[in-house]
Amino acid sequence: DIQMTQSPSSLSASVGDRVTITCQASQYINDYLNWYQQKPGKAPKLLIYDASNLVAGVPSRFSASGSGTDFTFTINSLQPEDIATYYCQHYDGLPRTFGQGTKVEIK
């Protein structure tokens, strides 16, 4: 199985800050990577697909990049409603696997 490693596991930032999360795959996955946001008690929500494509309706302060084994997810200008746990997920073959998650909190 391909292992997905996210860092950090949690972070605290101020409103308006730029937040960056990294995700590393245990082997080459091209750009077969998605990012999800999960708020407490809710189902995950797809934000980014194919490594860098923003889902329609998702605010443009969210962005992502990367290819191969190293990926980055960014929130430009953190907002209070962005408090959530963020997960990366690969789809280069089966099984699909998720990163362990990054919990984002407001300082």
Partner 1 sequence: QVQLQESGPGLVKPSGTLSLTCAVSGASISSNNWWTWVRQPPGKGLEWIGEIYHSGSPNYSPSLKSRVTISVDKSKNEFSLKLNSVTVADTAVYYCARDGGSDRGGAFDFWGQGTMVIVSS
Rounded Cα distance, 79 and 4, in Å:
26
Residue 16 vs 57, nearer CB to partner 1: 57
Q: Which is nearer to partner 1, 17 or 92 (CB)?
A: 92
**Angle at 25 (CA atoms; ends 62, 60), nearest 5 degrees:** 5
Closest separation in Å from C-beta 51 to partner 1: 10
Tokens of 20: 């960056």
Query: In angstroms, what is the minimal distance from the CB of 34 to partner 1?
Result: 5
CB-nearer residue toward partner 1: 36 or 73:
36
**Shortest reach from residue 41's CB to partner 1, in Å:** 9
The residue ranges that bind partner 1 (CB under 8 A) are: 1, 32, 34, 36, 38, 42-46, 49-50, 53, 55, 87, 89-91, 94-101
Can you tell me the distance from the alpha carbon of 88 to that of 106, in angstroms, rounded to the nearest whole number? 21
Q: Tell me what percent of the chain is helix, strand and coil, each rounded to the nearest 5.
A: 5, 50, 45
